[in-house]
Every structure is written in C-alpha cells, then in structure tokens.
Structure 1
Amino acid sequence: MSPSTTARPFTAGVYCPLITPFVAQTEAVDYDALTAQVVRLARARMGIVLLGTNGEASHLSDSERSAVIRASRKALDESGFTHIPIMAGTGTGSAKETVRLCVEARDAGADYAIVIPPGYFAFAMGRDTAALKAFFTQVLDASPLPVMIYNFPGAASGIDFDSDFLIDLSEHQNCFGAKLTCASVGKGHRLSAHTLSSAYKERHPRPFFVMPGYSDILLPALVCRAQGCITGTGNIIPKTIVKLYDTAVSALATGNAEQLEAARKLQDIVAEADWAVVKAGIGGTKYAMDVCVQAGLGGIPRAPLPPAPSAIQTMVTAGLKRAVAYENSI
C-alpha cells in the first residue's frame, strides 16, 4: 500500500498534546481558550497534538472532536502558521470506528493521526499480539492519514508493545512513527536504529519518528537516536522544552562540551517540571495553566476527572516554580 500523503510534513522536534479546556458548570469546550493555547504553542515552535490523553478525547463527542480540529486549524492559518501540521488522536475501541475517526479528522483539517491500542478488552486480548497487530494493520491499511502508534500502557489497560512489535509495524508504509509513553529509552533506541538504517530508508520514502512521551528523558532519548518528544509539560513551559531540544541537538551534532553541559542543566529544570506535571494529572495540569500561564487557559476537566485538590495545587505550584521562572525569562 502506498503511504498516505499530506501537504504539511511532520518534522523532528518537540510536540505538545494539548489539554482541551472546558467551561465551569456547563463543561462545554472553551474554544477561545483552546485556540489561544494553540497559537501560543505555535509561536513557541512547539508542535500541535490534539485529542490525546491530555486532551480528554474519550470525553468528547465525535462532533466535538471534529470541531476542536477545525477551530485549531483555523486559528493556526489565521495567525500565519499555515505550514504547521496537526496530529490528532483517533484511537478508539474498534478498528472500524478508529478508521472512521481518522477519516473525520482528515476532513476537519488534521494532517496525521495518532492511535492508541484498544484497551477496553485488554483482559481478553492484551497478550494476543496477533489480534493487536491485526487491529493496527486494518487501521493502517484504511486510514487516509499517516498513523503514529501510541504506546501508553497506563491508558490502554496495561497493553505495552515491545520493540519487536513496533519494528514490525514500522514496516507498514502508512506508519510514520511511535510515541513511547512507556519511558523506555532502550526500546526507542532499538526502534530508531531499525528505522534510521539505510536498508529501511530504501524501503520507505517517508522518515519514521520515534518520540518519547515524556520530556524528562528528552536528552538521553536524543542521544539514543529519538527525534524529539511529545510532552504534556509543553502546555506550561513550551519555550524551555524547545530550548532544551535545540541545545541538545546542536551539542550532539557538534560535540560541543559547553553546549552539552547547558543541555544537561536545562534537562534538570525540565525533569523537575515534568515529574510535577505527571503527578498532577490532567486536573493539576489545567490548574497550573490557569495559575502559572494565564487565567482561564486551562479550565476544568470533564467528570469523572476531578479538579485538582488543594494538595495537588500546592505540589504542582512548588514543583513548577523554577521552570516557570525560567520560561518567563526567555
């Protein structure tokens, strides 16, 4: 099968899975806050990922999913960012419905899809690698968008793909990458070594991107051939994470010891912030956006996800203090 095409190329770098802000009381999508965040991240040179775990995609109706993509595409275009692609989460319980969501995402303006394995029936098929491969093959065969595999055991009832499984899927012409929210640098290294080989490149006209799902391992992941990361912490400190990426890539390309030490120091800041955000969860991330970035930007989660309790509010504010100060200084 020939790979799906898009006018906006996906490139190496750092990407942010945006939160979806909801209005208090009604829980309606706050499109003004959403588009403000989309443009803010684009200005910081942070890539855009919609409708992921942070985006509470499972809490949205199909029409809301499409509306989020449409509003974000419109905001990017009107702000002069017509070249920036949108990747959208389309994974759901069945291959058939996932393909339908890929089509609807394409029609709404998305350029790429990111698909998580179907976790609901993990008790029945979590160890059935043939069934899981068949799910992804059906999606990859039919999706009009190039597909990134989303390996996140915590959000897929423990389903965790090893490097052999991911290397196998990487051979499909419509698979263009993998997001590894499993924190396995070694798994990413093996996958990168395979997809960066000259033999792989001869078989595939499009590059493959290995992206860890945490920014606290960005520097070591880049050393191990990753092409960036997709990090929820980018909602709060996008400029800092972009600077870490730029500094690390330059240091690794030139062998400059001073730049490498600067990247290590930036990684210290980002690792501290990333851990605070991971512990804070979605409610805490939204609270941090409202308090540390701009009031009203985060909004509330949709039930049953709770707003951040006072203990989380205190923890995340303290845990982000150094990073937010640095973000505001650059």
Structure 2
Amino acid sequence: MGIVLLGTNGEASHLSDTERSAVIRAARQALDANGFTQIPIMAGTGTGSAKETIRLSHEAREAGADYVIVIPPGYFAFAVGRDTAALKKFFLQVLDASPLPVMIYNFPGAASGIDFDSDFLVELSEHQNCFGAKLTCASIGKGHRLSAHTSSAAYKTRHPRPFFVMPGFSDILLPALVSRASGCITGTGNIIPKTIVKLYDTAVSALTTGNAEQLEAARELQDLVADADWAVVKAGIGGTKYAMDVYVQQGLGGIPRSPLPPAPTAIQTMLASGLKRAVAYENSL
C-alpha cells in the first residue's frame, strides 16, 4: 500500500512545476507527522519530452517522492504513436536518467491512443530502473504475460527488486490477482479505500491457501467493487471529486480545473445510486 500523486485524478497536467513539488512535499510531511514514515509516495512525472520528464523526476525526489510513474508523451501521438523505436528511446532515456525507480503508465485514453503491448513492456521491464507497470488498458492477458515474465526465477536472478504489475481499475482486481498481478492503482480507492483493501486481502488469502469460502467472499466483494468502479469511471474526474466531497469528507475532492467540468446533476444522481451499496459497506468497516 502506498500513495500515488500527480496522476490522472490528480490533474498533473493542470499543475505548475511549483505546485507539483508542493503536492509531494505536503503529502510527505503529512505522512511523516502522523507516523507513516514507512509509506512510500509515487508521483507522476510524465510530460511531453524526455528532458522535462527527467527534470520533473529529479524535482519529485527533492520534494520527497520515492518512485515516479511516467505516461508516454501523447501530444505527438500522430508522429510517434506507432513508432515503437521512438517510444522505446523516450523511456530508456527516462529510465537511464531518473534518480527514482520508474513505473510505466500505459493509459491509451490519456495518451492519445498510445497502447503498449506485452512485448514492449517485457523489454522495458529488463531495465534495472524499471520497477513496474500500471495498466489502465484493462488487458488481463497483457498483464498476465508481463507478470509471468517478471515473476519468473530467471527474471528475479537478474533483478533483485520486485516488479509490480498494477491494473488501473479495481473492477478487475480479483481476476488480475489470479493472473499474477501485484494489486491495483485505482481512482475508486479515493472513495472506498477500505473496501478495496479488504478485497485485496481476501483475494490474496484465498489464492494463497486455496480456501474456497474465502474465494467466494472475494468474488462477492469484487461484485460490489465492480459496480462502484463502473459508476466512478462513468462519472469521470469531476464526479470522482464530487463523490470524495459527499461520501468521504467535504472539501477533500474539490472542483477540477478548466476544461474539466464539475459533476452535473445527472452524474450526482447516478453516483448516489451507483455507490450506495459500496459506501454503506465502506462505512461498516
């Protein structure tokens, strides 16, 4: 368990460099002040060029981050979107120069359709400064192939640090764990964090022990989380922040920066219905 900052819901692309560093610094200070010194922070530093991504990664380390997560440069997708060599060069430059371990962020929807296949990710996983991949492409098969490669005995002899394969949606957490994934990084975790942790713990225990009752309990929790995750996906970033304000703590979510709109009435109504069961369960934990 850790904290991911400056990602999609964190509106990293809407922040100045000074604000990016301030977010990391504030989070680190809050964690340390409350006794959570062992909790790592991963910060988004991906931007339009390798040079700027590397600079932001250095600034993230100075502000207190432990890891960085890097999305491919989507603005020039029309020029490099299918140029595997160019994209590989971008990531190798970042991996070589980043002062912090790097997680690859594969999110076609936020990178103008750039979508890495498992061959590309397996190749990058061999770099000693690459420690994981977030797959917001919802591909269980891709994640399975990458997990199988990075969890093999041969890979571990070459890489002393664990490699983390993390789907970007919690509605596929259970099947992803069956396919050797490490967990998930999910915006829905901002709203029902304890429920998703309960699902993770139950699923891992069931898969470790082979206990059929625990597996069924994990399935039922996944049913609950899948419904909530879909509601949050449909609600978008404005809806996610609205839900944080209403169902977690007022003022926690806030209003997105333009051009992202706040949640309209229809989205608010949809969330009230779509999150009802999950929020009730979350509040019972």
TM-score above 0.5, yes or no:
yes
Residue 180 of structure 2 corresponds to residue 225 of structure 1: yes
In structure 2, distance between residues paired with 1:73 and 1:131: 35
- Structure 1 residue ranges, 4+ long, deviating more than 6 angstroms after superposition: none
Residue 126 of structure 2 corresponds to residue 198 of structure 1: no
Could you list the per-position Cα deviations for residues 82-110 of structure 1 after superposition, in whole angstroms to 9, with x for gaps in the alignment? 00000000000000000000000000000
* One-letter code aligned to 1:64: E
In structure 2, distance between residues paired with 1:312 and 1:299: 15
Equivalences for residues 1-330 of structure 1 within 5 A: 46-330=1-285
In structure 2, distance between residues paired with 1:89 and 1:114: 5
Aligned-pair distance for 1:47?
2.1
In structure 1, distance between residues paired with 2:252 and 2:166: 26
3-state DSSP of counterpart to 1:210: strand
In structure 2, distance between residues paired with 1:194 and 1:304: 40
* One-letter code aligned to 2:32: D
In structure 2, distance between residues paired with 1:171 and 1:317: 45
Select the structure with the greater relative contact order (CA < 8 A; seq sep ≥ 6): 1
Could you list the per-position Cα deviations for residues 192-215 of structure 1 after superposition, in whole angstroms to 9, with x for gaps in the alignment? 000011111111111101000000
In structure 2, distance between residues paired with 1:141 and 1:286: 36
In structure 2, distance between residues paired with 1:179 and 1:317: 29
Q: Percentage identity across aligned positions?
A: 88
TM-score (norm 2): 0.99
* One-letter code aligned to 1:88: A
Q: CA RMSD in A?
A: 0.5
TM-score (norm 1): 0.86
Could you list the per-position Cα deviations for residues 246-295 of structure 1 after superposition, in whole angstroms to 9, with x for gaps in the alignment? 00000000000000000000000000000000000010001111111111
In structure 1, distance between residues paired with 2:247 and 2:58: 37
Aligned-pair distance for 1:73?
0.1
| Consecutive unaligned residues in structure 2, runs of 5 or more | none
Aligned-pair distance for 1:165?
0.2
* One-letter code aligned to 1:128: D
3-state DSSP of counterpart to 1:217: helix
3-state DSSP of counterpart to 1:87: strand
Q: How many residues align?
A: 285
